Amino acid sequence: METIKVQGTPNIYRHHDGAIKEMAQVICRYGLKKGLLVTGEASYRVAEPHLRATDLNVVVEQYSGECSREEVTRLEAIAEEGGVDYLIAVGGGKVIDVTKATATLMRLPYFIIPTLASNCAALTPLSVFYTEEGVFTDHVIFDQAAFMVAVEPKIMIETPSEYLRAGIGDTLAKWYEARPLVLEMVHQPLAVKVSQHAAKLCQDVLITSGKQALDDAKQKVVSNEFIDVVDAIIMASGMVGGFGEHYGRISGAHSIHNGLTVLEETHHLLHGDKVSYGILVQLALFNEWDEIDQLLPYYDELGLPKTFADFGITKDLDEKWEHVARHAVRENESIHLLGEVTKEALHLAMCELEQHVIIRAQRGE
């Protein structure tokens, strides 16, 4: 019987007003003295009033803008020079990932204050690495999870709504990427069943409450739907991989995202927007057109991208599809968990998806 390595959640996950103050109390209670706080300019600006209300002793360092191995090396040197005994990430996915990697390398505990509900980086014990120019290279899974994740609703509601939309797109992929990975399993270990239920829960919450949550975010209203969607993006989606291991992390949609990173025109696009496009391409690859047709109205409601044209890319499409496909099917890419996928098949899927969406639009669908 196959065994699954379960890394379900951080030690503590808190989502309420005052979560950062509670985190400071936990840090004090465990005798930690000095931290390196890694952040970005905008993220620190929104979190600083909450941090100022604590008595944390931290060195604040802005990250370079990428989660690269060079940045991990730089932050490690700063942490060693500062004599810190823990790290805090304040920001979005790349800030969180580079902090996780640095803390794990140094064997130090780390804490996370997400300022964006754009992905599950706060829950997952892995880091996605890019070059300094923003091209995906690989990802690494760690044994160590966060000691605590503190989600402040007042910070989340100040996030630009496009980040929440991207988070919805990234989290929606959990179900579509995880579902086909277990179809051939004769016996699903209980941990995998938990993972599948979490993935389906994410889909259900997002389909049911995603549009309302996005509307509320635009109006700066912390509604029940907004709270549920944020928890789906940050918490429940992290449980998919945490309990399912390789049966619950990533497959086709994220490989297509990785392929898109080779195009300079996509570097300004949010991770979740590229992943949400990858969902449709993955479904097209396996001729699941009925599923695509069910999703397209939802994509239109939320403003999720369906085609290269939605990315603002309208020229040399065939050449760019080929470039993306070649990168997305590299030997170690997760798309091959779905079976052997060739660049020709993936290229065709992107072409067919583009035509399918255009034809639907011409019909007024």
| 130 in a known ligand binding site | yes
Beta strand pairing call for 86-91 and 58-62: unpaired
| 131 in a known ligand binding site | no
What gap in Å lies between CA 148 and CA 113, rounded to an integer? 9
What gap in Å lies between CA 211 and CA 145, rounded to an integer? 31
Half-sphere exposure of 87 (CA within 13 A, CB side): 31
Scanning 236-307, the segments in alpha helix (DSSP H) are 237-244, 252-260, 271-285, 289-302
Paired tokens of 327: 């990168």
Bridge partner list, 59: 36
DSSP type of residue 311:
G
Closest CA to 159 of 19, 270, 265: 270
| 118 in a known ligand binding site | yes
What gap in Å lies between CA 88 and CA 60, rounded to an integer? 9
| 82 in a known ligand binding site | no
| 97 in a known ligand binding site | yes
**Residue 256 contacts residue 282 (beta carbons within 8 Å):** yes
Residue 320 identity (one-letter amino acid): K
Radius of gyration for the chain, computed over Cα atoms and rounded to the nearest angstrom: 20
| 116 in a known ligand binding site | yes
Cα 206-111-131 angle, rounded to 5 deg: 75
| 115 in a known ligand binding site | yes
Residue 210 identity (one-letter amino acid): G
What gap in Å lies between CA 281 and CA 9, rounded to an integer? 30
Q: Tell me the longest C-alpha to C-alpha distance in the chain.
A: 65
| 95 in a known ligand binding site | yes
| 254 in a known ligand binding site | yes
What gap in Å lies between CA 116 and CA 160, rounded to an integer? 8
DSSP type of residue 257:
H
| 170 in a known ligand binding site | yes
**Residues that constitute the known binding site for glycerol:** 170, 254, 271
**Residues that constitute the known binding site:** 93-97, 115-118, 124, 126, 130, 170, 254, 271
**Residues that constitute the known binding site for NAD(+):** 93-97, 115-118, 124, 126, 130
